[in-house]
Amino acid sequence: MIARELNEGVMTLRLDRPAKKNALTEAMYDDLSEGLNAAAADAAVRAVTIAAAGDDFCAGNDIADFARGLPRLQAAADIEDLPVFRFLKALTFFEKPLIAAVQGQAVGVGVTMLLHCDLVAAADDARLSLPFLKLGLVPEAGSTLLLPRRIGHQRAFAWMALGETVAAGEALEWGLINRVVARAELEETASGMARRVAALPPNALRRTKGFLRDGEALWQVVRAEGEVFRDLLFSPEAQAAFAAFMNR
């Protein structure tokens, strides 16, 4: 469900579950982690693009798959042993340029993973939402650190607390994405960005990205969010919210 393609030094990891709006399963998290780690180790890969098949980028976690994994989540001695956190760790420490191409819905982790990307192109129909608080949870992927840095505390809090959907144009204005284009132009726009950075001297690019973000500090936030997320997940509020979601 994650397709890989290498072209002109750019590895494309494509979410390929369009019938489910590319909602992520544990198997998909594992595939994404493996793809990022393989790209990091391969000198032929100079940049990675995360894209998606179909009408939507990513509807967040697949709720049914997520529910099946709850016993493992609760029992895990270390959250780093879980597929989602292996993916988040691979994102956090990925040293090469990371580009995203976003269309349609981007929900939950479909948004927070974009905060780890160096360049983001979006179709003009892109809609971004963060439903964590509505579900009785805290956001993840280091977004409580990265999002206020990007758009300011007021906007970040309002988005998380009020749960409003952010359209592509507003996301561009806030600095969450780099370009908004027509849907038909999205793939080529993201590919063009990726090819341009892939052509740069790789060591200088890696060092520059390293100066721009502190992976170790960010990972501590990702881990802290994850522990609180796990605790809250089994709270009465979250259980009630999930039950309402499943029964709607």
pLDDT in the model for residue 246: 65
pLDDT in the model for residue 70: 75
Mean of pLDDT values over 195-210 = 96
CATH class, domain 2-203, is alpha beta
Beta bridge partners of 2: 15
pLDDT digits (tens, 9 = 90+) for 133-170: 998 999 999 999 999 999 999 999 999 999 899 999 99
- CA proximity to 97, closest of 205, 188, 199: 205
Mean of pLDDT values over 52-59 = 98
Residues 181 and 189 sit within 8 Å (Cβ to Cβ): yes
pLDDT at 201 over 80: yes
Full strand arrangement of the beta sheet holding 127-129 = 105-107, 127-129, 166-167
pLDDT digits (tens, 9 = 90+) for 207-228: 999 999 999 999 999 999 999 9
23 or 247, higher pLDDT: 23
pLDDT at 245 over 90: no
> pLDDT-based confidence at 55, cuts 50/70/90?
very high
Percent of the chain with pLDDT strictly greater than 70: 98
| Whole-number average pLDDT of the chain | 94
pLDDT in the model for residue 190: 98
pLDDT digits (tens, 9 = 90+) for 166-193: 999 999 999 999 999 999 999 999 999 9
pLDDT digits (tens, 9 = 90+) for 75-124: 778 888 899 999 999 999 999 999 999 999 999 999 999 999 999 999 99
pLDDT in the model for residue 75: 79
pLDDT at 248 over 70: no
Residue extents of the structural domains in the chain? 2-203
> pLDDT-based confidence at 66, cuts 50/70/90?
confident
Q: pTM of the entire structure?
A: 0.94
